[in-house]
Amino acid sequence: MVPCVIFEDEHLLVVAKPAGWNTHAPSPYAGEGIYDWLRHREPRWATLAIVHRLDKETSGILIFGKTTLANQSLTEQFARRRIHKKYLLLTDRAVPEIGFTVKSSLLRVGEKYASRPGGDLAETKFTPVADAKFTLNHSGLKMVKAEPLTGRTHQIRVHAAERGFPILGDTLYGGSASARIFLHAAEISFTHPATNAPMNLFAPVDFDRESRLALRSAIIGPEFTNAFRLIHGASDGWPGWFVEKLGDYLLSQAEMPLTAEQGGELSRLAKIYSSRGVYHKTLSRQVRRSMTAEVSPQRVLGEAAPERFEIMENGIRYEMSFHEGYSVGLFLDQRDNRRRLLSGHIAADFPLLQSAIGNRQSAILNTFAYTCGFSVCAAKSGARTTSLDLSKKYLEWGRRNFLLNGLDPAHHDFIYGDTFDWLRRLAKKGRAYDAIVLDPPTFSQSKENGVFRVEKNFGGLVTAALPLLKPGGVLLASTNAAEWAPEKFLASVDSAVSAAKRKILKQHYVPQPPDFPISRVESAYLKTAWVKIH
């Protein structure tokens, strides 16, 4: 289900990293790097270790160790220069016609590296590639093979620039501005740590492919998932504009009507993904004062979607609709969290449920359930679910999602009403759950409890839920309040747990998934804490 994996055995995991993705998270609350995303995805990857790195904008082969033996062996092979790597780069500057080697001492100078006395020895062999094929819209491009004989930070970039042919897109070292840094780790050769067999692995280069689409292809297996975000605002070069693939349709979202440029991009994406139709939704802060037809997505290209259609995510089917107002049926940024409920695996060394449960069916409560996406995944994994929401329409939608996946809604509970009111009532009835999902809207209002604002009232929501959580149970606490700092969000959870005289046994924080990329120009908004509580 992870297309970027190109080799795996007991000791090694080798992936083709797309450009635009860090090797590891640059800070605790930033987007996950490919290492973090993989390590917490599968139990067998829990012990992954980084043995080398690629820059964020460099694509290509990346090796992770899975065992102590692999880590030690690969580290030693790198140190003794027994691992041979080949890179390919593009440049729009003149390149010598024959191969040559650059050898210098590299020292950090500000945010860059440069050849300076007293630095670390770095040696790179360059060879022009005469028969290179690509169709990028740049004139006079040349491809060069680079073989680093040492492993210093930025060494290929520095040596290429200092020899007069900086890499296309590498503006830090004088390269012409472009969509990415056109450097690709194409091949790696080493000795297998356990068998001593020679290993030679390849990641074919495709400099013509857009980085943002390559990123999606690296993480999304189309046979299991056909719904994900294609354009995430400024992180993907389109400030204020968001586009999602929803099965056979594309959904565009912005605060303004489509521009001619956006319309052209939608037409192009529709051809790439063979979309039947394209819709646009104008984002508004006055949703509650608007009629359903006014806030529903409007068709702009192709065929009209039926009143209801299906998408698939991690093998689970969901009903969608462009005719029900502002929300179309599923929030795609929660895909990885739904997968955690489906697989029962939250993170490295963090299973969802206690092994002591044995054959007893687990019980999971999903508050603010909307169309019951979390509930469907939990039920598919064998849990008995309770879905609680203030909308009868959405609960009925949720029941249809159960039926789409061969689940009998009669074996699960669907409760209509105010969440705070029902948490009190369920506690009085002595109900207890192995896991509770708290993913409220940033703002809501009910007759029973008035106005709910997530920054002000989330701690109270946790407090109300804790009497229903079994000892050793797991709380999924999540919010999309963009202006609420992660530290303050986590503090509100911690404070509520402490005030209830309970103890946090384990906690795992995750931001939005990689197809919702976080950058300096498009900051993080989704925050999720999985919390195991005594």
One-letter amino acid identity for 193? P
Give the distance between the most distant pair of CA atoms in the chain: 81
Q: Which residues pair with 125 in a beta bridge?
A: 101, 147
- On whether the CB atoms of residues 185 and 61 are closer than 8 A, the answer is yes
- What is the torsion angle, in degrees rounded to the nearest 10, for the CA atoms of residue 13, residue 14, residue 20 and residue 22? 40
The domain made up of 331-533 has a fold known as Rossmann fold (3.40.50)
Give 6: exposed, middle or buried? Use CB within 10 Å, 0-12, 13-18, 19+: middle
Q: H or E stretch including 261?
A: helix 260-272
Measured CA to CA, the distance from residue 85 to residue 317 in angstroms comes to 42
Give 56: exposed, middle or buried? Use CB within 10 Å, 0-12, 13-18, 19+: middle
Mean pLDDT of 157-186: 96
**Does residue 247 register a pLDDT over 70?**
yes
- Tell me the average pLDDT of the chain: 94
Measured CA to CA, the distance from residue 455 to residue 461 in angstroms comes to 11
In this prediction, residue 357 carries a pLDDT of 47
Tokens coding 220: 């999304």
pLDDT in tens, 55-76: 999 999 999 999 999 999 999 9
> Closest Cα partner for 533 from 483, 476, 482?
476
Measured CA to CA, the distance from residue 113 to residue 104 in angstroms comes to 11
| Cα torsion 89, 95, 98, 103: sign | negative
Residues acting as catalytic residues: 55
Parallel, antiparallel, or unpaired: how do β-strands 413-416 and 384-389 relate?
A: parallel
Buried b / exposed e along 495-525 (16+ C-beta atoms within 10 A): ebbeeeeeeeebbbbbbbbbbbbbbeebebb
One-letter amino acid identity for 239? P
In this prediction, residue 389 carries a pLDDT of 96
pLDDT in tens, 113-134: 999 999 999 999 999 998 887 7
Ramachandran sector of residue 154 (left: φ over 0; alpha: ψ -120 to 50; beta: rest) = left
Measured CA to CA, the distance from residue 529 to residue 489 in angstroms comes to 9
**Does residue 9 register a pLDDT over 70?**
yes
- On whether the CB atoms of residues 225 and 317 are closer than 8 A, the answer is no
| Cα torsion 267, 272, 275, 278: sign | negative
**Does residue 293 register a pLDDT over 70?**
no
From-to residues of CATH 3.40.50.150 in the chain: 331-533
pLDDT in tens, 226-240: 999 999 999 999 999
Tokens coding 203: 């990641």
Roughly how many angstroms between the first and final C-alpha of the chain, as a whole number? 34
Q: Which residues pair with 122 in a beta bridge?
A: 104
The CATH number, out of the four listed (3.40.50.10190, 3.40.50.300, 3.30.750.80, 1.20.1070.10), of the domain defined by the range 220-312: 3.30.750.80
Band (pLDDT 50/70/90 cuts) for residue 288 is low
> Closest Cα partner for 54 from 193, 123, 151?
151
In this prediction, residue 443 carries a pLDDT of 81
**Does residue 20 register a pLDDT over 60?**
yes
Parallel, antiparallel, or unpaired: how do β-strands 433-438 and 198-202 relate?
A: unpaired
Q: How far, CA to CA in Å, does 229 sit from each of 32, 213, 317?
A: 16, 10, 17
From-to residues of CATH 3.30.2350.10 in the chain: 5-211
In this prediction, residue 400 carries a pLDDT of 98
Radius of gyration of the CA atoms of the chain, in A: 25
In this prediction, residue 133 carries a pLDDT of 78
User: Residue with structure tokens 């460099």?
Assistant: 58
Measured CA to CA, the distance from residue 249 to residue 345 in angstroms comes to 31
> What angle, rounded to 10 degrees, do the helices at 373-380 and 335-343 form?
20
Strand ranges (E), 2-141? 5-8, 12-17, 49-50, 59-65, 84-91, 100-109, 112-115, 120-129
pLDDT in tens, 83-101: 999 999 999 999 998 999 9
pLDDT in tens, 455-490: 999 999 999 999 999 999 999 999 999 999 999 999
In this prediction, residue 356 carries a pLDDT of 43
Measured from the Cβ of residue 224, the count of other Cβ atoms closer than 10 Å reads: 12
In this prediction, residue 134 carries a pLDDT of 77
DSSP state of 520: S
Measured CA to CA, the distance from residue 518 to residue 427 in angstroms comes to 39
**Does residue 303 register a pLDDT over 60?**
yes
Mean pLDDT of 318-341: 94
From-to residues of CATH 3.30.750.80 in the chain: 220-312
Parallel, antiparallel, or unpaired: how do β-strands 433-438 and 316-320 relate?
A: unpaired
Band (pLDDT 50/70/90 cuts) for residue 166 is very high
Mean pLDDT of 361-384: 96
**Does residue 287 register a pLDDT over 60?**
no
In this prediction, residue 361 carries a pLDDT of 84
pLDDT in tens, 387-407: 999 999 999 999 999 999 999
The domain made up of 5-211 has a fold known as Pseudouridine synthase (3.30.2350)
